[in-house]
Structures are given as structure tokens and as C-alpha cells.
């Protein structure tokens, strides 16, 4: 029996992970489930999966969950806060950790899992964006295994030859092509983006995602973060990672070889496919995803992304080229700006402005250790919040 901790079990990735686990009760067991503040969602999951542990990042919510668990006589121990998240990430009975906490908040528990030598099912791209070199060094040092869950990176992983860690040229790979749907505003007149509402930005045409990730998809910062993540995961340079708009979201990414061959991974836009792939790798298991009907799809479209429409993508490329802690600053500023757009009335088109200004005014020393990276992250957030207040 394979023990699994699901960090962020009440989000869309966590729910899909539990769906896959439920389809294979003799193969997988949910040892620990965690949420931020979704008390009702986590309680229902505890009733269904009866995990050994449940963790709420919010202390008040954890106390309420503990009372509910006690009243229902469930065999689940409730923990709280970052310490609780780190504890369930490194439990000896856990073999795999689904890292699905959104944002930089997921960094510490994911690193705890890495240092415990677990198989990391990496859905939290910020862990690599914020601490790429540190993260990959820790993976190597502790013998952990990282399998990407983002549909794009999982597709690239499936199309890569063995030994790609030596460098792409060494294994005959020319470049990676990350596909992007273009989100809900792919064809919206640029001048109309000024009036975009949070509800419109969260209405992704193909994928069912959380609000923050949906906004990132609408600005294409999501794809920018994926470019940075791809550089670390696949040991490549940003010049070898191209982005292609593909509105159908059927081809999830491609790998081009030196001989002219291009391998692509196709499938319906359902996150259970990459989740099941990573959980069972190198084997294959049933995911619950319907077969792809190419006759119904009928055609596949491709186009280059416009940096005028999607300036966040350009900012991400600039950050990874700059290196050091620039990606950490980029990520922190984006999280602040997206939260302000969703909650404080910041204009949609001001999101990249907040990020650009924060990158300009935040010192960016090389973050060689976790303490320095967290200090840089905190400083960037303070500066981004100050800039946001000026623009709201």
C-alpha cells in the first residue's frame, strides 16, 4: 500500500488526486490531508478517506476541525500551521507527497518532503520559481524524486528521453515547446482588458482551476512561471523553452529533437491524467479520464503569444534571464497583485505594472539559502503592497 500526503487537498488538484486514490483503494491510501481554511471541505474528506492526520494552516480552523473530528469519532489526528504541514510531509509511512498548496506558502512543507526523500508530485510551481537552485540541490542531496504535475511539464516529462538531467544537447533535444490556451482573453481587444472583472478572469475556457491560478492563466503569468520551472526541471536554458498558443488544450506540450522529430503528449484537459501518471510512474493506471476523440476535436490551432497582450510572460522571461532571486521577487509581486485584483479593485492591466515596478525597486541578492530567499520574498511583498496601494 502506497501512503500519500495531499498538501492542499481541498483545492482542484487535491480533489482530483483523491479521485484517483479512490479508484485504487488497494494501491493507495490517503495518510494525511491538509487545507488552509476550508473547514467543511477537509471535514468531508476526513469522513470519506479517514486519514491518520488532517492539517489546517489556519489555527482557528484547526481547533474547530478537531472538535468536529472528535464529535464524529473519526480516527484522525488534527495538526495546525506550518509545523503541522511539515510534519505530515515527512511521515515515515508516507511514500508520495502531492504538493498542491498554491503560492510560496507551499515551499516549506515541500522542502520538508524533499529532505525526507519522498516522491514529490509537484503541482506547486512556486517552489521551483522561488528556490530553484536550492530546491534541486536538496533533491539530489536527499535522494528525493520529483515528478511534475502541471499538465505541460508532465507532458514534457513523458516526451523526454532518459538521461535528460545531463543536459538537453547530450540527449539530442533541441527545445521544449510549452503550449498555452491563451486563457479567456486570447482574442479580447487589448484596450478592453482595462475593464476585466475577477469573474471574467476566473472563467477559464478549458480548465477548472482555483481563482489565483485562473487569473495567472488569464495574464499568462502562469505560463511564465512554467517557463522558469521548466528550466530547473529539465536542466535547460530559457532560450530553449518556447511558448505556443494552442486554444484547444489537447496537446499539452512538445519536445523537439535534433533530428527534426517532435514528440507531443495529447489528452483531454483533465488534471487526473498527469496526476495518475506521476503517482504510478513508470507504470500506468486508470485515471477516470475519458478517451480523447480526435474526430470530435477535428482541428488543432497554434499561434505565437503577444507580449503586448500578455506582458507578464515577458516579465517572467526577463526574471529567469536575470537569475539570482529575480524569479522570487517576480512571484511575490505577482501574488500580491493578483490578490489585490481579486479583493481590492486593482485593475487587471495593473497586475504587470505592479510586478514590473517591484522588480525595479527590490534588491535582488543571490538567494543561496532558505533564510535569504524568505527575506527577499517578504521584502518584495512589502514593496509590491506599497505599489499596489498607489494604483488601486
The dihedral formed by the CA atoms of 18, 24, 27 and 32, expressed in degrees to the nearest 10: 20
pLDDT of residue 281: 97
The answer to whether position 318 is within a domain reads no
Q: 103 pLDDT exceeds 90?
A: no
pLDDT of residue 166: 83
Q: What percent of the chain has pLDDT over 90?
A: 79
The answer to whether position 358 is within a domain reads yes
DSSP one-letter string for 282-329: TS----SPPPP-HHHH-----BPPPTTT-HHHHHHHHHHHH-TTHHHH
Cβ-proximal residues to 52 (8 Å cutoff; 6+ apart), any chain: 31, 32, 75, 76, 77, 91, 93
Together in a domain, 72 and 43: yes
The answer to whether position 97 is within a domain reads yes
Residue 75: what are its φ and ψ, rounded to 5°? -85, 50
The answer to whether position 316 is within a domain reads no
The answer to whether position 127 is within a domain reads yes
pLDDT of residue 10: 96
Q: Which of 118, 148, 178 is the last residue of a domain?
A: 148
**Pairing state of beta strands 251-257 and 262-266?**
antiparallel
Q: What is the CATH number of the domain that holds 366?
A: 1.10.1740.10
Together in a domain, 203 and 257: yes
Confidence of residue 169 (pLDDT cuts 50, 70, 90): confident
Q: What percent of the chain has pLDDT over 70?
A: 98
Q: 255 pLDDT exceeds 90?
A: yes
Query: Which stretch of 184-198, 247-261, 346-360 has the lowest confidence by average pLDDT?
Result: 184-198
Read off the pLDDT of each residue in 278-284 and give the average, rounded to a whole number: 97
Q: Which of 148, 180, 196 is the last residue of a domain?
A: 148
SS3 state at 140: helix
The answer to whether position 75 is within a domain reads yes
On average, the pLDDT of the chain sits at 93
Confidence of residue 184 (pLDDT cuts 50, 70, 90): confident
Count of the separate structural domains present in the chain: 3
Together in a domain, 14 and 55: yes
Question: 208: closest CA among 267, 270, 255, 274?
Answer: 270
Q: Which residue has the higher pLDDT, 207 or 123?
A: 123
Tens digit of each residue's pLDDT (9 = 90 or more) over 287-343: 999 999 999 999 999 999 999 999 999 999 999 999 889 999 999 999 999 999 999
Q: What is the pTM of this model?
A: 0.92
The answer to whether position 115 is within a domain reads yes
Q: What is the residue whose three cell numbers read 517591484?
A: 358
- C-alpha to C-alpha distance for 35 and 51, rounded to whole angstroms: 13
Tens digit of each residue's pLDDT (9 = 90 or more) over 76-97: 999 999 999 999 999 999 999 9
Domain that holds residue 91: 2-148
Q: Which of 148, 169, 191 is the last residue of a domain?
A: 148
Amino acid at each position: 500500500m502506497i501512503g500519500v500526503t495531499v498538501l492542499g487537498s481541498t483545492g482542484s488538484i487535491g480533489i482530483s488526486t483523491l479521485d484517483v486514490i479512490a479508484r485504487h483503494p488497494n494501491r493507495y491510501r490517503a495518510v494525511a490531508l491538509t487545507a488552509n481554511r476550508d473547514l467543511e471541505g477537509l471535514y468531508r474528506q476526513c469522513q470519506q478517506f479517514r486519514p491518520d492526520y488532517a492539517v489546517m494552516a489556519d489555527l482557528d480552523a484547526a481547533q474547530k476541525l478537531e472538535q468536529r473530528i472528535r464529535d464524529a469519532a473519526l480516527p484522525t489526528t488534527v495538526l495546525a500551521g506550518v509545523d503541522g504541514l511539515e510534519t505530515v510531509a515527512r511521515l515515515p509511512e508516507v511514500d508520495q507527497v502531492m504538493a498542491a498548496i498554491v503560492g510560496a506558502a507551499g515551499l516549506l512543507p515541500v522542502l520538508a518532503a524533499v529532505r525526507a526523500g519522498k516522491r514529490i508530485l509537484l503541482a506547486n510551481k512556486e517552489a521551483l520559481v522561488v528556490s530553484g537552485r536550492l530546491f534541486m540541490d536538496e533533491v539530489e542531496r536527499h535522494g528525493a524524486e520529483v515528478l511534475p504535475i502541471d499538465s505541460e511539464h508532465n507532458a514534457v516529462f513523458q516526451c523526454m528521453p532518459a538521461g535528460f538531467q545531463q543536459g538537453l544537447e547530450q540527449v539530442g533535444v533541441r527545445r521544449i515547446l510549452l503550449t498555452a490556451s491563451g486563457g479567456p482573453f486570447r482574442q479580447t481587444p487589448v484596450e478592453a482588458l482595462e475593464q476585466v472583472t475577477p469573474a471574467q478572469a476566473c472563467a477559464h475556457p478549458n480548465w477548472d482551476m482555483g481563482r489565483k491560478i485562473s487569473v495567472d492563466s488569464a495574464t499568462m503569468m502562469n505560463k511564465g512561471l512554467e517557463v522558469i520551472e521548466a528550466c530547473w526541471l529539465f536542466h535547460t536554458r530559457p532560450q530553449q523553452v518556447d511558448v505556443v498558443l494552442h486554444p484547444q488544450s489537447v496537446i499539452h506540450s512538445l519536445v523537439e529533437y535534433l533530428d527534426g522529430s517532435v514528440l507531443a503528449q495529447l489528452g483531454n484537459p483533465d488534471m487526473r491524467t498527469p496526476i495518475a501518471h506521476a503517482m504510478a510512474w513508470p507504470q500506468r493506471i486508470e485515471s477516470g479520464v475519458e478517451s480523447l476523440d480526435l474526430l470530435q476535436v477535428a482541428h488543432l490551432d497554434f499561434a505565437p503569444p503577444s507580449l503586448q497582450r500578455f506582458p507578464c510572460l515577458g516579465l517572467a522571461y526577463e526574471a529567469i534571464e536575470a537569475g539570482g532571486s529575480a524569479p522570487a521577487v517576480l512571484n511575490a509581486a505577482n501574488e500580491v497583485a493578483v490578490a489585490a485584483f481579486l479583493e481590492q479593485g486593482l485593475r487587471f492591466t495593473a497586475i504587470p505594472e505592479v510586478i514590473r515596478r517591484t522588480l525595479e525597486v527590490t534588491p535582488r541578492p543571490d538567494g543561496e539559502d532558505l533564510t535569504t530567499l524568505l527575506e527577499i520574498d517578504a521584502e518584495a511583498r512589502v514593496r509590491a503592497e506599497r505599489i499596489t496601494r498607489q494604483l488601486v
